[in-house]
Amino acid sequence: MQCDQTTRGSELLLGMDRSSDTPMHVQLEGALRDAIRSGRFADGTKLPASRVLAAELSCSRWVVVEAYQQLTAEGYLQARAGGGTVVFSPSPPAEDIPRTPVPAPPAVLVDFEPGIPDLAAFPRSAWLRALQHTVRSLPPHDLNYGADAGVPVLRRVLSEHLARTRGVRTDADGVLVCAGVTHGLTLLCEVLRERGHRQVAVEDPGWPRLSKAVRRAGLTPVQVPVDEEGLVVDALWRTSARAVLVSPAHQFPAGVVLSPSRRTALLDWARECDAVVFEDDYDAEYRYDRRPVGTLQGLAPDQVAYLGTVSKTLGPGVGIGWLVAPGELRPALVGLRDCGDPVPATLDQMALAHLIESGSLDRHLRRTRSSYVERLNTLRTALAQHLPGARIQGADAGLHLTLLLPDDADEAALVREARRLGVLAAGLGDYHSGTSPRPGLVIGYGQARRRQITEGIAALAEAYRTTRRVGN
C-alpha cells in the first residue's frame, strides 16, 4: 500500500495491515489507541473528520466511525459539541517500570532452611491420579461456589484422618478447610477481635509470620517465653491475653515438646480464664523416636482450636490446611467466607480427600518418615564429629533440629560466614522477639540430602571456629 502524504492518518497506517485477518476497524482502533497512549497524539489533538480519514486510508467511512465510537466509549476520544473528535489523554503515558536488577546471590550448596519438606519427594503420580479422578468424576455443580466451610467429602475424610492419627475429637461439621495454619490463625483472630479480644499470646521464640498474621487481624501479639518444657504457662497467667497460640507437639523453633504438667497447666489456664488455645500442629506427622503426643484438642475440644496443614507433608504450594474450632466459634468463622475470605480450589480439596482415602498420603508419610530419620541420624553423626561442643535441644521430630551452640559462638557472624561458604542455615536469634538467651542454629533437613548434610555440618563447624568470640 502506498502513502505519500505525511498526515496524521498516514501515521496510523504504520500499524495496519490489509492482508491481516483482523478487521480494519479493529486495526485502526488499536493504532489510534497506541498513538494516544504513547503520547504521539497529545491531549486535545483534533482528529480528521471520519470521511477525510477514510479517504486517506482508502477504507470505508464506517471503519473510521466504528473505531472513533469505540475509543470514545473507552474514553480515549471525546466528541466536541461543535463537531469533530479530539484526543482525551490527560494522564501522561505510563512509564515503563524499571526492573531492579536482581544481584546474583552466592551459590547455595547446602540448604538447611527450616520449615520446608523434601519437595523432590512430592507424590506427583498420586496427586495427578487424584486430580484426574476428581476432574473426570466431579458433578458440574460442584464447580460452583463451594460450601463455605469446605467441600463436605474433604471435611469428612479429614475428621476421620485427624481422629485416627492425632486423636482430634470432631466430625465433618467441625472441620473448616483453609489455606494453611497462618490463614486459619487469621480467621480465629478476626473472630476473637469481634468478640472484644485485643491480644493473642504467642510463643517466644516463634515463627515471625504468625505474629504478623495476628497483627493483620487487628490484635496485638504478646510474647510468652518457651523453655525446655515448652510454653511457660506461669508467664501466660501474667498477661491479659485470653487466647494463646502454641505448638505443643514440636515447638518451632525450639524443638521441645510441651511437658505433661505444662499441658495440664495450660488447659487449667484456658478453663479458668475462659480462654482459647490455638494448637498449631504444623508438623506432628513426623515424630521419629516414639509415636507423637496426642493433641490438646482431644483433651479439651471446647477450649482448643486445632490447626493443621499439608505444607510440611506435601508442600506449601498445595495450599490446603484445616481448622477444628470449639463449636461456639464455628458460625462466626464460617461467616467470614460470606465476606470474601477465600476457600481453597474445589478440585484441590476433592483431590486431597481422594489422596487420603486411597491411602496414598499414608504411603507418602511412611516413605518420607524413613528418609527424614536417615537424614536426622546423619546429622547427629556429623554434629558429634564436627561440632561436639554443641547440644541438640528437643525431640526427634519434624523437619528441623535445634542446635544450642557453645557460649563463645557469635551466631550472626557464624550464619553470615556459613552463607559465604554456601551453607544456608537460620540463627535461633531470628525467631526471638528480643535477644536470644544463647547462640543457636535451626537446621532444616527437608531440603538437604545425606551427603550434603555431612558437608554442610563440616562447613558450619568451620564457620563457628573462624567467627567465635575471642577471650571466652
Q: Give the torsion through C-alpha atoms of 327, 329, 331, 332, to 10 deg.
A: 180
Residues 352-381 that bind a copy of itself (CB under 8 A): none
84 sits near a copy of itself (criterion: CB under 8 A): no
Report the DSSP pairing between strands 199-204 and 77-79: unpaired
Residues 144-183 that bind a copy of itself (CB under 8 A): 144-146, 167, 169, 171, 173-174, 178-180, 182-183
Q: Which amino acid is at 318?
A: V
The region of 54-62, 274-282, 300-308, 410-418 touching a copy of itself under the rule CB under 8 A is 300-308
Compare residues 10 and 132 and give the one whose CB is closer to a copy of itself: 132
Residues 34-63 that bind a copy of itself (CB under 8 A): 37
Compare residues 58 and 132 and give the one whose CB is closer to a copy of itself: 132
C-alpha grid cell, residue 138: 466431579
- Binding residue (CB under 8 A) for a copy of itself from 232, 347, 365, 373: 347
Compare residues 25 and 386 and give the one whose CB is closer to a copy of itself: 25
- For residues 358 and 130, is the Cβ–Cβ distance under 8 A? yes
Lay out the site mask for a copy of itself across 280-299 (x = CB under 8 A, - = otherwise).
----------xx-xxxx-xx
- Binding residue (CB under 8 A) for a copy of itself from 27, 165, 190, 204: 190
Compare residues 9 and 321 and give the one whose CB is closer to a copy of itself: 321
- Binding residue (CB under 8 A) for a copy of itself from 7, 45, 72, 360: 72
The region of 42-50, 206-214, 277-285, 420-428 touching a copy of itself under the rule CB under 8 A is 206-214
For helices 50-57 and 61-74, the axis angle rounded to 10 degrees is 120
Count of residues engaged in binding a copy of itself, rule: CB under 8 A: 95
Question: Across-strand partners of 355?
Answer: none
Taking the C-alpha atoms of residue 313 and residue 452, their distance in angstroms, rounded to an integer, is 21
The order of strands in the sheet holding 85-87 is 46-47, 85-87, 77-79
Return the SS3 of 281: coil
Q: Output the smallest distance, CB 128 to a copy of itself, in A.
A: 5
Residue 174 per-residue DSSP state: G
Compare residues 257 and 383 and give the one whose CB is closer to a copy of itself: 257
- Binding residue (CB under 8 A) for a copy of itself from 315, 398, 429, 456: 315
Q: Which amino acid is at 127?
A: W
Taking the C-alpha atoms of residue 472 and residue 465, their distance in angstroms, rounded to an integer, is 13
Q: Give the torsion through C-alpha atoms of 181, 185, 188, 192, to 10 deg.
A: 160
For helices 450-467 and 411-420, the axis angle rounded to 10 degrees is 130
Q: Output the smallest distance, CB 439 to a copy of itself, in A.
A: 26
Q: Output the smallest distance, CB 391 to a copy of itself, in A.
A: 22
Residues 222-261 that bind a copy of itself (CB under 8 A): 257, 260
- For residues 397 and 288, is the Cβ–Cβ distance under 8 A? yes
Residues 89-148 that bind a copy of itself (CB under 8 A): 89-91, 94, 96-97, 99, 116, 119-120, 122, 124, 127-128, 131-132, 135-136, 140-146
Closest CA to 262 of 306, 290, 205, 224: 224
- Binding residue (CB under 8 A) for a copy of itself from 74, 228, 234, 407: 74
Compare residues 72 and 223 and give the one whose CB is closer to a copy of itself: 72
The region of 3-11, 214-222, 359-367, 454-462 touching a copy of itself under the rule CB under 8 A is 214-222
Q: Output the smallest distance, CB 318 to a copy of itself, in A.
A: 6
Q: What is the DSSP string of 114-154?
A: TT---GGG--HHHHHHHHHHHHHH--GGGGSS--TT--HHH
Compare residues 267 and 461 and give the one whose CB is closer to a copy of itself: 267
Residues 9-28 that bind a copy of itself (CB under 8 A): 26
- For residues 288 and 369, is the Cβ–Cβ distance under 8 A? yes
Q: Could you identify the residue written with the cell 577471650?
A: 471
Compare residues 346 and 378 and give the one whose CB is closer to a copy of itself: 346
Question: Across-strand partners of 403?
Answer: 392, 441
Taking the C-alpha atoms of residue 67 and residue 73, their distance in angstroms, rounded to an integer, is 10
- For residues 343 and 150, is the Cβ–Cβ distance under 8 A? yes
Q: Output the smallest distance, CB 37 to a copy of itself, in A.
A: 7
- What residues contact residue 22 under an 8 Å CB cut-off, 6+ apart? none
User: What is the maximal distance between C-alpha atoms in the chain?
Assistant: 93
- Binding residue (CB under 8 A) for a copy of itself from 345, 365, 373, 412: 345
